Chains A and B, each alone.
Chain A
Amino acid sequence: MAWTRKILRVDLTNGTCKSEPLNMEWAQQYLGQRGLATKYFISEVDPKVDPLSPANKMIMATGPLTGTPASTGGRYSVITKGALTGAIACSNSGGYFGAELKFAGWDMIIFEGKSPKPVYLSIENDKAELKDAAHLWGKTVWQTEEIIKKTHQDPQIRVSSIGRSGENGVMYACIVNDLHRAAGRSGVGTVMGSKNLKAVAVRGTLGLGGLKDAKGFFAAATAAKKVLADNAVTGQGLPAFGTQVLMNVINEMGALPTRNHRDVQFEGARGISAEAMAEKRPSDGKSHLVTNAACFGCTIACGRISRIDEKHFSVVNKPEYWGASGGLEYEAAWALGAANGVGDLEALQFANLICNEDGFDPISFGATVGAAMELYDLGILTKEQIGMDAPFGSAEALCKLAEMTARGEGFGKELGLGSARLCEKYGKPELSMGVKKQEFPAYDSRGIQGMGLAYATSNRGACHLRGYTVASEVLGIPIKTDPLTTDGKADLVKAFQDATSVFDSAGVCVFTTFAWTLADLQPQLNAACEGEWTMEKLAEVGERVWNMERLFNNAAGFTAKDDDLPPRLKTEAAKTGPAKGLVSGIDKMRPEYYKARGWDANGVPTKETLARLGL
């Protein structure tokens, strides 16, 4: 249905919900979802705003392909100023919530102000109202979804909500929809909690309409689905093994950050990999992995659904965790595992379930536990402070700390600060492994040089999904480049960042890019959306969105100094593997990247660049 041309503006302070027409002039320049919502956000919010103040806003946005039969067309994003980072945040989620919002007739929801008491937003097509959420406050994501569905007597309602971590101020809280899909990074759930907004419940029955050329769209979408089906990665590799298949690949390449990036290879990697998930456990003869799963409209189905070992120490006498549920995906398995030196697959799944149940980012949580374990190893944090022994490799500590963080208990409150604030508090800021206060994902910048530049320059802090050069440097998509060299990485990172901005603004999943290029997306957008959507126009949208986000961050106070990596990655060489002896070449790549972007030496877009992009 491309755009519904309607925005829902929710004033939480005054408790009102109003409909507005979508700015179609902006839609032609920023497409939708990430791009268009960010345009709204920066037009309405002071870049210096405290992320947790009522003056910050939060937008839930769909793309023009969300809700259409385009493969993976179920995405939605949350745009705000991130609690964790203080930078522009855009967290993208799959599942079914985004499509439902579209079916209810809304392109996006803009939340402003702060409710005087806990509320949730109920949407049934045109009807939108804030409802009391006193009975939901203090509940988990899973409980909240169940209670709302029972209250409305409608099991088909789709819910996005925060758990207790979002209420308790965990700085990397998520907004979780459909039980285990999440707008996961940068603390968007923390912002939602600060507004006393517990959940958004949507039921949409208006269906599909408004495509510019419906016949042409279905032909383009069908052709693009065939590209995904015929591709060995999206047609076979991802559905069979999921993202977790990377665990052994990245370990073999010496780029698996281990024990807070002290090492680049994990001796226990095989035991927490996709291959391990698929084999039968000695304890009960069942495999950890139950099946794969797909989000709305997805023809890839990379998701993992697993069942924890009922005899594992973490879930003994806790039958509520024995059923099949989401996980493990690669990023979570790495952050909860290798990053801490924990090689117990069942423990990782338990911690992952807690992250889903109470809505906090397993990447930032796991990496923060890794930092805490290093502080413990150095004697800076003691058993008494943490409440338990917490050496690297302790599955028991990981599981207990996950529960404590969810509930805001004891040392869990300190872990909820994230690694940057935690390490700063204990006098070791250099031990936080991240950029712009957001923790790294699962690729070491010494073994995959381009990712170091992608992390350093990501507009939402360290992130793999803003410029996934792993595709090229490791997997050869679209072309193979050498992960150990910095040569050519500035242009590579820019190309990935700009293209990803388009996919994130369209309403489809970035995983399609393992098979699709912009040339596969363009016919679908052009048939669905009003106006002429050429390859050139889309490329310009991608670059425009990236520079717009950059301008917001610069105005918020970020400078070139923030486009950097922790000293460990620049001074402590990789000890093993192909990258042995290497450090990150970020200081060489950064100026090359600024030049490729048309920015000055301080990382500020030049007047010429802004004029070229219409900014």
Chain B
Amino acid sequence: MQVIFKLYATLQDYLPAEAKKTNSFPLEVGPGTTAQHVIEQFQLPQKLCHLVLIDGRFVPPAERATRVLKEGETLAIWPPVAGG
């Protein structure tokens, strides 16, 4: 099945070249794939995975390894950032 995967700020270094201009790309994942599986697949440093959202909703660190992705969902990840 397909999900949308997005990486921003310093994490955009881990994007494939074709996704650099959009920060987003479709990702094929198997049944039972969790947010944590994707983080590991792309070798994202754990401490940089600060804000993890699925369809815009926050996934607490304790739930990343159990939150299974569903068809069409969007997984977006940011390092620690802030603004104002």
Supposing A248-B23, A252-B53, A578-B56 touch, asked if A471 and B82 sit within 8 A by C-beta, the answer is: yes
Query: Does chain B have a CB within 8 A of A365?
Result: no
Query: Does chain B have a CB within 8 A of A577?
Result: yes
Binary interface profile of B, 64-84, with partner A (CB < 8 Å = 1, else 0)?
000000000010101111111
Query: Does chain A have a CB within 8 A of B2?
Result: no
Partner of B58, one of A234, A330, A480: A480
Chain B neighbourhood of A331, CB < 8 A: 84
Chain A neighbourhood of B32, CB < 8 A: none
Chain A neighbourhood of B76, CB < 8 A: 248, 252
Query: Does chain B have a CB within 8 A of A244?
Result: yes
Query: Does chain A have a CB within 8 A of B51?
Result: yes
Question: Whole-angstrom distance from the CB of A20 to the nearest CB of chain B?
Answer: 35
Considering only CB atoms, which chain B residue lies closest to A515 in the complex? Answer: B82
Considering only CB atoms, which chain B residue lies closest to A249 in the complex? Answer: B78
**Interchain CB contact under 8 A, B57 and A578:** yes
Query: Does chain B have a CB within 8 A of A535?
Result: no
Considering only CB atoms, which chain A residue lies closest to B60 in the complex? Answer: A480
Query: Does chain B have a CB within 8 A of A240?
Result: yes
Supposing A252-B56, A480-B58, A514-B82 touch, asked if A275 and B50 sit within 8 A by C-beta, the answer is: no
**Interchain CB contact under 8 A, B9 and A465:** no
**Interchain CB contact under 8 A, B56 and A477:** no
Task: Tell me the bound Cα distance from A578 to B73 in angstroms.
Answer: 12
Question: Whole-angstrom distance from the CB of B12 to the nearest CB of chain A?
Answer: 6
Chain A neighbourhood of B57, CB < 8 A: 578
**Interchain CB contact under 8 A, A468 and B84:** yes
Chain B neighbourhood of A233, CB < 8 A: 80-82
Task: Tell me the bound Cα distance from A185 to B9 in angstroms.
Answer: 29
Task: Tell me the bound Cα distance from A238 to B9 in angstroms.
Answer: 10
Query: Does chain B have a CB within 8 A of A253?
Result: yes
Partner of A464, one of B20, B51, B84: B84
Total A-B pairs, Cβ < 8 A: 92
Task: Tell me the bound Cα distance from A454 to B22 in angstroms.
Answer: 33
Chain B neighbourhood of A464, CB < 8 A: 84
Question: Whole-angstrom distance from the CB of B43 to the nearest CB of chain A?
Answer: 19
Binary interface profile of B, 32-70, with partner A (CB < 8 Å = 1, else 0)?
000000000000000100110101111010000000000
Chain A neighbourhood of B79, CB < 8 A: 232, 236-237
Chain A neighbourhood of B23, CB < 8 A: 248, 270, 275
Question: Whole-angstrom distance from the CB of A299 to the nearest CB of chain B?
Answer: 15
A residues 235-254 near B (Cβ < 8 Å) are 236-238, 240-246, 248-249, 252-254
Chain B neighbourhood of A240, CB < 8 A: 9-10
Specify which of B20, B51, B79, B82 lies most central, judged by the most chain A CB atoms within 10 Å of its CB: B82
Question: Whole-angstrom distance from the CB of B62 to the nearest CB of chain A?
Answer: 11
Supposing A240-B9, A578-B55 touch, asked if A475 and B81 sit within 8 A by C-beta, the answer is: yes
Specify which of B24, B47, B53 lies most central, judged by the most chain A CB atoms within 10 Å of its CB: B53
Question: Whole-angstrom distance from the CB of B37 to the nearest CB of chain A?
Answer: 20
Question: Whole-angstrom distance from the CB of B74 to the nearest CB of chain A?
Answer: 8
Chain B neighbourhood of A254, CB < 8 A: 56
Considering only CB atoms, which chain A residue lies closest to B53 in the complex? Answer: A252
- Interface size, B (range): 20 to 34
**Interchain CB contact under 8 A, A237 and B84:** no
Binary interface profile of A, 547-573, with partner B (CB < 8 Å = 1, else 0)?
000000000000000000000000000
Task: Tell me the bound Cα distance from A243 to B83 in angstroms.
Answer: 4
A residues 265-285 near B (Cβ < 8 Å) are 270, 274-275, 279
Task: Tell me the bound Cα distance from A470 to B82 in angstroms.
Answer: 9
Task: Tell me the bound Cα distance from A242 to B24 in angstroms.
Answer: 21
Question: Whole-angstrom distance from the CB of A233 to the nearest CB of chain B?
Answer: 5
Query: Does chain A have a CB within 8 A of B8?
Result: yes
**Interchain CB contact under 8 A, A232 and B80:** yes
Considering only CB atoms, which chain A residue lies closest to B56 in the complex? Answer: A578
Binary interface profile of B, 1-24, with partner A (CB < 8 Å = 1, else 0)?
000001011101000000011111
Considering only CB atoms, which chain A residue lies closest to B10 in the complex? Answer: A240
Chain B neighbourhood of A270, CB < 8 A: 22-24
Considering only CB atoms, which chain B residue lies closest to A248 in the complex? Answer: B8
Binary interface profile of A, 458-486, with partner B (CB < 8 Å = 1, else 0)?
00000011001011001111001010000
Supposing A240-B9, A241-B9, A275-B8 touch, asked if A249 and B51 sit within 8 A by C-beta, the answer is: yes
Question: Whole-angstrom distance from the CB of A460 to the nearest CB of chain B?
Answer: 15
A residues 203-233 near B (Cβ < 8 Å) are 231-233
Task: Tell me the bound Cα distance from A245 to B9 in angstroms.
Answer: 7
Task: Tell me the bound Cα distance from A238 to B82 in angstroms.
Answer: 7
Query: Does chain B have a CB within 8 A of A533?
Result: no
Task: Tell me the bound Cα distance from A65 to B6 in angstroms.
Answer: 42
Chain B neighbourhood of A241, CB < 8 A: 9, 81
Task: Tell me the bound Cα distance from A279 to B23 in angstroms.
Answer: 12
Supposing A248-B8, A279-B21 touch, asked if A475 and B82 sit within 8 A by C-beta, the answer is: yes
Partner of A475, one of B6, B21, B51: B51
Question: Whole-angstrom distance from the CB of B2 to the nearest CB of chain A?
Answer: 18
B residues neighboring A (CB under 8 Å): 6, 8-10, 12, 20-24, 47, 50-51, 53, 55-58, 60, 74, 76, 78-84
15 further interface pairs, Cβ-Cβ under 8 Å (given A245-B82, A252-B53):
A231-B80, A232-B80, A236-B80, A237-B82, A243-B82, A243-B83, A245-B81, A248-B8, A248-B23, A270-B24, A470-B84, A474-B51, A475-B80, A480-B60, A482-B58
Jot down 24 A-B pairs with beta carbons below 8 A, ordered by A: A232-B79, A233-B80, A233-B81, A236-B79, A237-B79, A237-B80, A240-B9, A243-B84, A245-B78, A248-B76, A249-B8, A252-B56, A253-B53, A275-B8, A275-B23, A330-B84, A465-B84, A470-B84, A474-B51, A475-B82, A482-B58, A511-B82, A577-B56, A578-B57
10 tightest A-B CB contacts, nearest first: A243-B83, A246-B83, A232-B80, A578-B56, A237-B81, A245-B81, A330-B83, A233-B82, A514-B82, A233-B80
